[in-house]
Structure 1
Amino acid sequence: MEGMPTSDAAQADLLTALMSFDEERALRVLDEHREGRGPVSLVGDVIMPVMREIGEGWKRGEVSVAQEHLSTQLVRSYLDALRRPPVVGGPEVWLACPPRELHDLPLLALGLLLRDQGWQTRFYGANTPLHDLLRAVRVSRPAAVVVSGNDPRRLRAAAVPLGLIARQTDLFLGGRAAQKAGGELAGRVLPPDVVRAAEEMRELLPEVKAG
């Protein structure tokens, strides 16, 4: 990987491209880092730090709504394009945000990493009715469900369906919401870092460890 830009340099290049609405440059930075260092580094060392910085900049009034929206949609589309066909025979994990939770980009990134580990992933995304998800869990019996979000209030409001889902399968709680409210709820709290979260899921579930 001699000659490859460092992760810090890739972060700076991506942030500059997104803030200047340079989609072509942003996609080039993402492609070059993924091809040179792989998806784990792309997600953990570049995408998530940059998106956190953009989110904090928006809160401080330094990043416009247009910049934040373009950045989120570009990264979302990029990650979605990396989705591959399901791994035949791999354990199935479902990924969802609780009702009224719209921050699903970290969950999408987690799904990419889990697919690379051999999981079959089903991405429900933002604002998922968890009682409906529970009914589907009872029928399809996935190996695990991850419910993740940014707002702890949304997670607390879903305490009842979360408890019922946890009786059916392994339930994991992710995102900033889980760091604040997860201890009050059913399910295992994942680390806030998506790379560490993916590693922890691999260690905890025997189907993946055996693979």
Structure 2
Amino acid sequence: MTDYAKQLTDLLLRGDEQAAISYIDGVLAGNDRLTLYEDLLTPAMIRIGELWEQNEITVADEHLATAVCDYVISDYEYRSSSDDAPDRKKVMLFGVEGEEHYIGLKMAAAVFQEFGWRVRYLGPNLPLRHAETAVNAWQPDVVAMSAALSYRLPILRKSVQVLANTDCRPSIVIGGRMAPHASFTEEAAPGQVLVMPNLRELHEWLAAEGKGASVKHVLS
């Protein structure tokens, strides 16, 4: 973890929203969403999770830091928003049933928006039946889901199986801490699922897609 991320960790745990925003503005060189999310907020939140697991902070401390992180993201996106990019493909993002972690999903939603995608962010802990209804109604090109803990893998696999076979046959992007440890060869068609372990890889994929490669081609 860099010194910048350590300093931001302290500010998140202090619950000081304005100090966190001021610090980030001083660290970032202009509009640099990827550095903010991948190199500052993500390692800070991972460290906060580790402190909670080691009983060095309380649940209340962890919730406060998460709320401040959420505020920072919302503030940054509000100040960076632009209508210049045309809306084209559609992505729906949510945490699988029982999954309460959502900061990574919110960051991913912002990265999709940066590349001009129409985004529906449905938050954490979305029951599968509601996710299926939403996918059938909106028919996104991509469904992005996340799971942070190993015991979410069964519902994650079930979600992939159900949603990959809805009428629109969306491509499935999987993120979260469990993403690198999961395989979905039995739940979806070959090439339909893309495991995305971090935001930098998502950014690179979307940049490649924007140069003319279709979603189906990139994922196959």
> Does the TM-score normalized on the shorter chain lie above 0.5?
yes
User: 1:210 matched to which residue of 2?
Assistant: 212
User: 1:94 matched to which residue of 2?
Assistant: 92
How far has the Cα of 1:200 moved from its partner? 2.9
Report the number of matched residues. 202
User: 2:63 matched to which residue of 1?
Assistant: 69
CA distance 1:159–1:193, change in 2 (3 Å) = closer
User: 2:152 matched to which residue of 1?
Assistant: 154
Q: Is the contact made by 2:157 and 2:184 (CA closer than 8 Å) also made in structure 1?
A: no
Alignment equivalent of 2:133, drawn from 129, 132, 135: 135
User: 2:121 matched to which residue of 1?
Assistant: 123
Structure 2 residue 35 is the aligned partner of structure 1 residue 41: yes
d(CA) in 2 for partners of 1:189, 1:63: 35
Letter in 1 for 2:155: A
User: 1:173 matched to which residue of 2?
Assistant: 174
User: 1:163 matched to which residue of 2?
Assistant: 161
Q: Deviations over 1:21-73 (max 9, x none)?
A: 43332121123334536111111110101111111111112223232111100
How far has the Cα of 1:141 moved from its partner? 1.5
Q: Deviations over 1:131-190 (max 9, x none)?
A: 222222223221100011212332312434421311321111111223233446435242
How far has the Cα of 1:18 moved from its partner? 2.4
For structure 1, list consecutive stretches of 5 or more residues without a partner in the other structure.
1-6
Q: Is the contact made by 2:12 and 2:69 (CA closer than 8 Å) also made in structure 1?
A: no
For structure 2, list consecutive stretches of 5 or more residues without a partner in the other structure.
214-220
SS in 2 for 1:30: helix
Query: More displaced, 116-125 or 148-157?
Result: 148-157
Query: More displaced, 86-95 or 177-186?
Result: 177-186
SS in 1 for 2:32: helix
Q: Is the contact made by 1:174 and 1:191 (CA closer than 8 Å) also made in structure 2?
A: yes
Letter in 2 for 1:180: H
Query: More displaced, 93-102 or 109-118?
Result: 109-118
Give the TM-score of the pair, scaled to structure 1.
Answer: 0.83
d(CA) in 2 for partners of 1:34, 1:115: 20
SS in 2 for 1:131: helix
Letter in 1 for 2:212: A
Structure 1 ranges of 4+ moved more than 4 A: none
SS in 2 for 1:197: helix
